């Protein structure tokens, strides 16, 4: 088939990305019923909001956090309020690999169907001291090692969670590969990974360098995995809340944001519930902020606007068209590289292996006999 150089080649079907979201449709909480959901950092903030909403919807929810007393009390209170007996708190330090391993294993054991339908990588931390931009005593004989606690929680912790999720989600009993054509009514078991990033993953927050770097990295993790998790039958989505009133919004940060608009935690919970409850949503991301007027372009894509349209929303899609347009160049490069490999065939492979062996021999000679670094092998 002849290729038209001017044509855009989409890989949306290949990675099974679902169509743009219709945010005007209501969320059906009944679709979370009987699903087993894990939430890291679930004892406060967004995690607590998610927990309360999905517990009320009849899900089995397991939250992991380092604040044991608060987590235990939250579970007891919500169980009493909702009558849901499948609510659990487990101690989990996301920066500790074994702690997360134990968290996942315990969750599988207490799950009614011995599987996990959804993992929410929610645990997050903000830099309240600003130490990264204020280095001290680095001219001493033994400068102190900088503490990157924010990176440990927001990035390393999220990557631990992701690594474990990609192992356990495909093993969810009776689950099938995620697909945009899934029927929410009949999809009892799911394989869903939800990232909670931030507005800081899109643009910088002055004075929050480490936090911004961690959330940018989380966005990169999501955008990369979105192209490959279909191989595991796992669907992946992401939320990027803007400035929302939560415990992370410290007094100094609120002073900085004074006079600006703050979003509502309920809108973040609503957006997350849309993702968790709808198994046909695959590879989408939402920015959640203060309610603003919205307008639609000729393609039906919504965006925030300063025009008074009479309709207000707190959510808009981001990174929605990466694999429709901007990433197609990567596909063409990969196709070209594959064609080179095909042309070279086994002969080219054999020649490349010989070159690699010769290079390795030369490296060994140079390593053990530095004076013979020009020795020809």
Residue 118: both structure tokens together: 């959804």
Residues 6+ apart with CB under 8 A from 353: none
**DSSP 8-state symbol, 359:** H
Q: What is the dihedral of CA 323, 324, 330, 335, to 10 degrees?
A: 110
Q: How many residues does the chain have?
A: 377
Residue 133: both structure tokens together: 């931009």
Report how far residue 102's alpha carbon sits from residue 211's, in angstroms, rounded to the nearest whole number: 27
Residue 351: both structure tokens together: 């020649």
Of these residues, 35, 125, 160, 211, which one is catalytic?
211
**215 noted as active-site residue:** yes
Report how far residue 241's alpha carbon sits from residue 263's, in angstroms, rounded to the nearest whole number: 8
Report how far residue 251's alpha carbon sits from residue 239's, in angstroms, rounded to the nearest whole number: 24
Question: How many C-beta atoms surround the C-beta of residue 345 within 10 A?
Answer: 9
Report how far residue 34's alpha carbon sits from residue 48's, in angstroms, rounded to the nearest whole number: 19
Mark 272-290 as b/e (b = at least 16 C-beta within 10 Å).
Answer: bbbbbbbbebbbbbbbbbb
CA distances from 238 to 45, 112, 373 (A): 17, 27, 51
**Do 206 and 129 meet the contact criterion of CB atoms below 8 Å apart?**
no
Of these residues, 125, 160, 215, 222, which one is catalytic?
215
**160 noted as active-site residue:** no
Report how far residue 15's alpha carbon sits from residue 223's, in angstroms, rounded to the nearest whole number: 12
**DSSP 8-state symbol, 235:** E
Report how far residue 135's alpha carbon sits from residue 146's, in angstroms, rounded to the nearest whole number: 8
Q: What is the dihedral of CA 68, 72, 75, 81, to 10 degrees?
A: -140
Which residues participate in catalysis according to the annotation? 211, 215
């Amino acid at each position: 088939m002849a290729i038209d150089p001017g044509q855009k080649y989409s890989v949306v079907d290949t990675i099974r990305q679902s169509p743009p979201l219709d945010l005007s449709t209501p969320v059906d909480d009944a679709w979370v019923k009987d699903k087993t959901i894990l939430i890291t950092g679930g004892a406060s903030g967004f995690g607590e909001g998610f927990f309360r909403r999905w517990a009320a919807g009849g899900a089995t929810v397991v939250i992991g956090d380092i604040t044991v007393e608060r987590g235990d009390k939250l579970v007891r209170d919500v169980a009493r309020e909702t009558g849901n007996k499948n609510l659990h708190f487990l101690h989990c330090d996301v920066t500790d690999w074994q702690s997360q391993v134990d968290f996942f294993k315990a969750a599988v054991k207490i799950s009614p169907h011995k599987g996990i339908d959804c993992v929410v990588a929610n645990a997050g931390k903000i830099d309240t001291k600003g130490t990264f931009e204020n280095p001290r005593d680095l001219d001493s004989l033994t400068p102190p090692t900088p503490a990157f606690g924010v990176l440990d929680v927001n990035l390393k912790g999220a990557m631990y969670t992701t690594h474990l999720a990609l192992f356990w989600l495909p093993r969810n009993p009776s689950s099938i590969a995620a697909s945009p054509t899934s029927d929410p009514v009949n999809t009892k078991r799911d394989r869903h990974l939800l990232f909670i990033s931030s507005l800081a993953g899109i643009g910088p927050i002055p004075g929050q360098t480490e936090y911004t770097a961690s959330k940018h990295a989380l966005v990169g993790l999501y955008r990369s995995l979105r192209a490959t998790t279909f191989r595991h039958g796992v669907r992946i989505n992401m939320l990027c809340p803007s400035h929302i009133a939560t415990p992370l919004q410290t007094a100094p940060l609120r002073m900085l944001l004074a006079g600006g608009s703050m979003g509502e935690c309920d809108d973040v919970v609503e957006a997350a519930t849309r993702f968790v409850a709808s198994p046909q949503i695959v590879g989408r991301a939402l920015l959640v902020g203060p309610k603003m007027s919205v307008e639609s372009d000729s393609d039906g894509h919504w965006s925030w606007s300063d025009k008074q349209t009479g309709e207000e929303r707190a959510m808009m899609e981001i990174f929605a068209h990466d694999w429709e347009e901007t990433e197609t160049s990567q596909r063409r490069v990969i196709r070209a590289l594959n064609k080179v490999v095909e042309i070279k065939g086994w002969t080219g492979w054999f020649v490349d292996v010989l070159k690699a062996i010769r290079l390795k021999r030369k490296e060994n000679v140079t390593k053990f006999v530095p004076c013979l670094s020009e020795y020809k092998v």
